Amino acid sequence: MSQRNTAVTDQVTDCPIREVLALIGDKWSAQVLVELGDGPRRFTQLERAIEGVSRRMLTLSLRNLERNGLVTRTVHPDSPPRVEYATTALVEEIREPLEALSAWARRAAPAITEARHAYDTRREEPVTPRA
Amino acid sequence: MSQRNTAVTDQVTDCPIREVLALIGDKWSAQVLVELGDGPRRFTQLERAIEGVSRRMLTLSLRNLERNGLVTRTVHPDSPPRVEYATTALVEEIREPLEALSAWARRAAPAITEARHAYDTRREEPVTPRA
DNA sequence: CTGGATCCGCGCGGATACTG
DNA sequence: CAGTATCCGCGCGGATCCAG
């Protein structure tokens, strides 16, 4: 079974939000779901769409999503091989809150940047009074 | 500055959902926000409420949340020291989608467990036909 | 009580090469 | 095209000790 696909998921505690993170909280899975939101995609399409992902990690992410019932994998008996991934009904149920979080991220970005700057400068000044 | 509090956050790509994960996608931050959802809490209260968290990670998580403007830290000049943490208005805006995700996690749990089981057995049988 | 400092293991994830 | 196999660095996070 190569690389243990039970990696991210399985047991956590019993905090629901932790369960969600266990499902899509790794580096690429959430973005995969986003890409699949516009309809089924082939492996290479995903690879190109998701900037910076390696084939290895894309495969692992897709395997996990598939194992947890969030993504389906259908192999078309063509040559060259042709595999399509798609989201399941389970994912539809979280599309909306996920969109809400995305929208919030965009809206809050300036405030967050400012908060970071404020925090950082607030912690630097006491160290180097002048300079 | 000790341990680089820029750990999780800062630059990612430009996928909004990745930004959210960068903010609260680490092991404990989301759960901290959940605990603070019922009102301000002291450090030790959080430590006890969040099963399995170490003082170190709780501190780091709180520092990150504070730095990104999601949590406030107020020190009451008492002896022994008394520090209270609370969520900011920024967090209020995502309480609802976060709740939605939590609710979904609870609802979907059986389906996910079943999907895992189906996937696992489906992958084991071809290996050991009998046994 | 509320942390900070240090040490360290382990697993995520990147790079690369190989395959049906 | 759609993966798999192997190697490996690095950073997350746990354990422990110390401090105001």
Concatenate the DSSP letters of all residues of B1-63 into one string.
--S-TTSS-S---S-HHHHHHHHH-SSSHHHHHHHHTTS-EEHHHHHHHSTT--HHHHHHHHH
The reply to whether the predicted model has a pTM over 0.85 is yes
Whole-angstrom Cα distance, residue A65 to residue A74?
Answer: 14
Task: Decide if B71 contacts B85 (C-beta within 8 A).
Answer: yes
Best residue in B2, B5, B14, B21 for a mutation probing chain A (most A CBs within 10 Å) = B21
Give the distance from residue A80's alpha carbon to the nearest chain B alpha carbon, in angstroms. Answer: 24
Residue with CA nearest to C20's C1' atom: A81
Could you read off the pLDDT of A109-120 as tens digits, one per residue? 999 999 999 999
Residue type, B103: A
Predicted confidence at residue B3, as pLDDT, reads: 41
pLDDT tier for residue B129 given thresholds of 50, 70 and 90: very low
Dihedrals phi, psi of A105, to nearest 5 degrees: -60, -40
pLDDT at B111 over 60: yes
Predicted confidence at residue A13, as pLDDT, reads: 67
Residues 17-76 of B with CB under 7 A from strand C: 42-45, 47, 55-56, 59, 62-63, 73
Q: Which two tokens stand for residue B60?
A: 């780091």
Strand order in the sheet with B41-42: B41-42, B82-87, B71-76
Q: Summarize the confidence of residues B88-116 as an average pLDDT.
A: 97
Radius of gyration of chain A (CA): 19
pLDDT at A1 over 50: no
Considering only CA atoms, which of B26, B68, B122, B90 is closest in space to residue A67? B122
Q: Which helix (H) or strand (E) holds A122?
A: helix A89-124
pLDDT tier for residue A131 given thresholds of 50, 70 and 90: very low
Could you read off the pLDDT of B61-98 as tens digits, one per residue? 999 999 999 999 999 998 899 999 999 999 999 999 99
Higher-pLDDT residue of B128 and A57 is A57
Number of A/B CB contacts below 8 angstroms equals: 127
Give the 3-state secondary structure of residue A73.
Answer: strand
Q: Tell how many helices (H) and how many strands (E) occur in chain B.
A: 5, 3
Predicted confidence at residue A122, as pLDDT, reads: 87
CATH class of A3-91: mainly alpha
Place of tokens 């405030």: A111
Sequence ranges of the domains in chain B:
3-91
Could you read off the pLDDT of B11-57 as tens digits, one per residue? 556 799 999 999 999 999 999 999 999 999 999 999 999 999 999 99
Dihedrals phi, psi of A127, to nearest 5 degrees: -80, -50
Beta bridge partners of B71: B87
Whole-angstrom Cα distance, residue A129 to residue A123?
Answer: 11
Predicted confidence at residue B101, as pLDDT, reads: 98
Whole-angstrom Cα distance, residue A12 to residue A29?
Answer: 18
Residue A60's contacts (CB-CB under 8 Å, 6 or more residues apart) are: A3, A5, A7
